[in-house]
């Protein structure tokens, strides 16, 4: 009672009256030597049979799968659907498909991959910071990994945001507007990326003579921003810098509960990531972000390089810049 078995290349070849090799060449994307006559017959045969090449077999034969893996902690790591949408479109545009892997907090990534195809993808884009470069390198082939989680490693190529640049601009903006004191709301401080970010804020604040009143540890989420906002001394604080837009949104809403203003007037509020939500009227939060198109372009460029080139292990830096909105 099995449904009709999938037609194979042999079936096509047989119907067209040619050898399997000819059929293979006629159906190949690259130009291969085949007489126009036979190519035509093969194509017609494939059409009538409803033939669809088995990519597993093809991959096994020529050792390419046209598959890239994207590793994230949680989906929210992407922090921005627009980025993901663009990334997916561009990756597909170069003829590759994306296998999406979510590596939950405590769980071991390796067990997820054990029985999946992910081990043998052309490349792995690592957004997740579940592991350092060494672990990822062990999981995948060395030159197949692209670190996008802010972690650097001499042996592995990476595309990283130059967050320091945007933070400088952001703090400079606050200083120019007369801010003298500030509060910093941070994310998970065990993250290397977050540590670097915090260091940038500290340095920039010091450079401008802005006093850092304190650092409150959140977890990037709206809820944590909302909760921590209770600790803000509205009268003494000139600016609140958050290392995520979501936390800034939480701060904004918490503030509105006490002061029915659209935007805080006592202190300035700055977020981070420039997520698309900050374009909505309700959350006009000044933020820091990079040009998504350039970011994605850099990723795709590396993906397009033959593996030997990737050995150079590019450490690409993408600029970030301050984006001014109502709260800043």
Partner DNA sequence: CTGTTAGCGCATTCAA
Partner DNA sequence: TTGAATGCGCTAACAG
Contacting residues toward its own copies, per CB under 8 A: 1, 3, 6, 29, 50, 52-57, 59-60, 65-67, 70, 74-76, 81, 84-85, 88-89, 92, 95-102, 104, 112, 115-120, 138, 141-143, 222, 249, 252-253, 256-257, 260, 262, 277, 280-283, 307-308
Q: Least CB distance from residue 60 to DNA, whole Å? A: 4
Q: In terms of CB distance, is 62 or 111 closer to DNA? A: 62
Shortest distance, position 204 Cβ to its own copies, whole Å: 29
Q: Binding to DNA by residue 9, rule CB under 7 A?
A: yes
Query: How many residues in the chain?
Result: 328
**With respect to DNA, which residue has the nearer C-beta, 5 or 95?**
5
Q: Which is nearer to its own copies, 201 or 283 (CB)?
A: 283
For residue 15, give both structure tokens: 């119907």
190 binds, among DNA, its own copies, none (CB under 5 to 8 A by kind): none
How many C-beta atoms surround the C-beta of residue 56 within 10 A?
10
Question: What distance in Å separates the CA atoms of residue 250 and residue 253, rounded to the nearest whole number?
Answer: 5
Q: How far apart are CA 96 and CA 109, in angstroms?
A: 23
Question: Applying CB under 7 A, does 62 fall inside the site for DNA?
Answer: yes
Q: How far is CA 268 from CA 100, 157, 165, 169, 308, in A?
A: 38, 37, 20, 15, 49
Question: Which among 215, 237, 223, 220 has a CA at the least distance from the CA of 273?
Answer: 220
| Strands of the chain, DSSP E | 67-72, 97-102, 123-126, 145-147, 158-162, 181-186, 211-217, 239-242, 268-270, 287-290, 315-323
Spatial distance between the Cα atoms of 204 and 201, rounded to a whole number of angstroms: 5
Instruction: Using the minimum distance from each CB to DNA, give the nearer residue, 27 or 249.
Output: 27
- Taking the complex as a whole, the smallest distance from the CB of residue 178 to its own copies amounts, in Å, to 27
Q: Does 188 bind DNA (CB under 7 A)?
A: no
The one of its own copies, DNA, none whose footprint includes residue 253, by CB under 5 to 8 A per kind, is its own copies
The DSSP secondary structure of 117-156, one letter per residue, reads GGGG-SEEEE---SS-HHHHHHHS-GGGEEE-SS---TTS
99 contact choice in DNA, its own copies, none (CB below 5 to 8 Å, kind-dependent):
its own copies
Q: How far is the CB of 111 from its own copies (least distance, A)?
A: 10
- Give the DSSP per-residue string, 199-214: HHHHHHHHHTT-EEEE
- Tell me the closest approach of the beta carbon of residue 123 to its own copies, in angstroms: 14
**Whole-number Å distance between alpha carbons of 6 and 320:** 50
Q: Rule CB under 7 A: say whether 66 interacts with DNA.
A: no
249 binds, among DNA, its own copies, none (CB under 5 to 8 A by kind): its own copies
22 is an interface residue for DNA by CB under 7 A: yes
Identify the residue among 61, 93, 105, 190 touching DNA (CB under 7 A). Answer: 61
The binding site for DNA (CB under 7 A) comprises 5-6, 8-10, 18-22, 24-25, 27-28, 33-35, 37-38, 51, 53-54, 57-58, 60-63
């Amino acid at each position: 009672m099995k449904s009709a078995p999938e037609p194979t290349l042999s079936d096509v070849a047989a119907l067209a009256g040619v050898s399997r090799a000819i059929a293979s060449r006629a159906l190949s994307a690259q130009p291969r030597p085949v007489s126009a006559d036979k190519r035509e017959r093969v194509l017609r045969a494939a059409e009538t049979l409803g033939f669809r090449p088995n990519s597993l077999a093809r991959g096994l034969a020529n050792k390419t799968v046209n598959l890239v893996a994207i590793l994230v902690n949680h989906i929210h790591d992407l922090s921005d659907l627009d980025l993901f949408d663009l990334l997916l479109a561009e990756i597909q545009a170069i003829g590759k498909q994306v296998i999406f892997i979510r590596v939950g907090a405590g769980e071991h990534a390796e067990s997820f991959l054990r029985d999946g195809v992910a081990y043998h993808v052309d490349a792995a884009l690592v957004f997740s910071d579940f592991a350092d470069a060494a672990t990822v390198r062990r999981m995948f082939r060395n030159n197949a990994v692209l670190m996008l989680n802010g972690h650097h490693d001499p042996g592995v190529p990476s595309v990283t945001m130059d967050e320091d640049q945007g933070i400088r601009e952001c703090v400079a903006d606050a200083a120019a507007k007369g801010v003298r004191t500030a509060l910093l709301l941070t994310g998970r401080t065990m993250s290397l990326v977050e540590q670097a970010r915090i260091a940038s804020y500290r340095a920039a604040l010091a450079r401008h003579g802005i006093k850092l009143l304190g650092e409150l540890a959140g977890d990037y989420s709206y809820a944590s921003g909302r909760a921590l906002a209770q600790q803000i001394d509205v009268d003494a604080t000139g600016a609140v810098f958050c290392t995520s837009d979501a936390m800034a949104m939480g701060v904004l809403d918490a503030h509105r509960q006490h002061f029915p203003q659209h935007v805080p007037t006592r202190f300035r509020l700055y977020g981070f990531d420039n997520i698309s939500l900050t374009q909505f009227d309700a959350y006009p939060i000044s933020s820091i972000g990079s040009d998504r198109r350039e970011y994605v372009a850099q990723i795709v460029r590396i993906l397009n390089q033959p593996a030997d080139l990737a050995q150079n292990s590019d450490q690409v830096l993408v600029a970030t810049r301050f984006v001014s909105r109502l709260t800043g």
